[in-house]
Amino acid sequence: MTEPRGKTVERSSDLFTADLAGTHRRSTVQTIAPDPETLALYDRDGFVILKGLIETQVRERAEDALRGVLGPTGRNNFEGFNTQRAYALLAKTRALDPLIAHPQILGFLEARLHAHPLLSACLAINIGPGESSQLPHADDGFYPDMRPDARHGLSVIWAFDSFTRENGATCGWPGSHLWPAGREPGPQDPAVTAIMDPGDALVFHGGFWHAGGENVTGRSRLALTAQYCAPWLRTQEAMALAVPPNAVAGLEPPLPSLLGYQIHPPFMGHVDGMHPRRLLGT
Ligand SMILES: O=C(O)CCC(=O)C(=O)O
């Protein structure tokens, strides 16, 4: 009898942890784990605000890039009729890479989502003067399974302007990530406002109910939101189309993996039986 070529998995229970599409060279990525107090707050409230995560120079470069790609105002009241958005950002600028793959965000993802998450959506949101409050929602709401303990998604909103009660700061309902499926915020549920300085990041559970606030000022409020999901879920933006392979080829780890150039064991994400990174020739 000839010896089998390649991997053999002996037990069915090991099948879903074995990488059968062929591993690809692993790279080391810096992550910074959140401290236990921060994690405890996140677990209790569904969100935390991380202060001053980026240097001024990185922030200013990112802000310039975002302002340069802002699109027209929204097409519906969810996007906001007085709010500009821009999508497919990783195809348009490299200035956001340090935020999307910030070591403290990666540490959070690893602690509370998955070691190999996907970037589900990444967009600029510039809430303009006169914008009304957004409809409350949870970012996991489009997945049919909204169990409180589901780890579908984790979102981050980076502030580029000061977030105030008047200019559209994100508001949210503490503990709402633990609510049973079907419960929505009502008048009896007090909301909190994410007051932030430029460079702060609001990190929240995919089940956390939140909304962009009303902007009663004469100035806009700029944010970047990066939303991550578990590697077995469909992403909101079709990243493989939004960011073409020639743009991905030059990206530093873990960005290709975040964009879907990864295998969720044993086969999920393969291309013609191969690890998707082989397509990049890297
Ligand atoms: O802009 C904000 O503060 C929140 C926006 C938001 O949650 C969304 O559009 O999904």
Write out pLDDT tens, residues 52-91: 999 999 999 999 999 999 989 999 999 999 999 999 999 9
Q: Examine residue 200 and state whether it is found in any structural domain, yes or no.
A: yes
Q: Take atom 9 of ligand 1 and give the residue whose Cα is closest.
A: 79
Question: Which protein residues are within 6 Å of ligand 1, measured from CB?
Answer: 125, 127, 134, 157, 170, 210, 212, 223
Q: Examine residue 43 and state whether it is found in any structural domain, yes or no.
A: yes
* Choice from 84, 193, 203, 225 to test ligand 1 binding pocket (greatest atom count within 8 A of CB): 225
Overall number of domains in the chain: 1
DSSP letter for each residue of 204-267: EETT--EE---B-SSS-EEEEEEEEE-TTS--SS-HHHHS-HHHHTTPPTTHHHHTT-S-BTTT
Q: Take atom 1 of ligand 1 and give the residue whose Cα is closest.
A: 212
Distance (angstroms) between ligand 1 centre and the Cα of 170 equals: 7
pLDDT tens-digit series, residues 155-166: 999 999 999 999
Domain of residue 276 covers: 30-280
Q: Examine residue 12 and state whether it is found in any structural domain, yes or no.
A: no
Q: Examine residue 5 and state whether it is found in any structural domain, yes or no.
A: no
Q: Examine residue 151 and state whether it is found in any structural domain, yes or no.
A: yes
Residue 224's pLDDT band (cuts 50, 70, 90): very high
Q: What is the mean pLDDT of residues 254-282?
A: 92
Can you tell me the distance from the alpha carbon of 205 to that of 208, in angstroms, rounded to the nearest whole number? Answer: 5
Q: Examine residue 265 and state whether it is found in any structural domain, yes or no.
A: yes
The chain-wide mean pLDDT, for the chain, equals 93
Q: Examine residue 4 and state whether it is found in any structural domain, yes or no.
A: no
Phi, psi of 143, rounded to the nearest 5 degrees: -90, 135
pLDDT tens-digit series, residues 96-134: 999 999 999 999 999 999 999 999 999 999 999 999 999
Q: Examine residue 224 and state whether it is found in any structural domain, yes or no.
A: yes
Which atom of ligand 1 is the closest one to the Cα of 194? 3
Q: What is the pLDDT of residue 280?
A: 87
- Could you tell me the CATH number of the domain that includes residue 142? 2.60.120.620
Q: What is the mean pLDDT of residues 267-274?
A: 94
Q: Answer whether residue 23 shows pLDDT above 70.
A: no
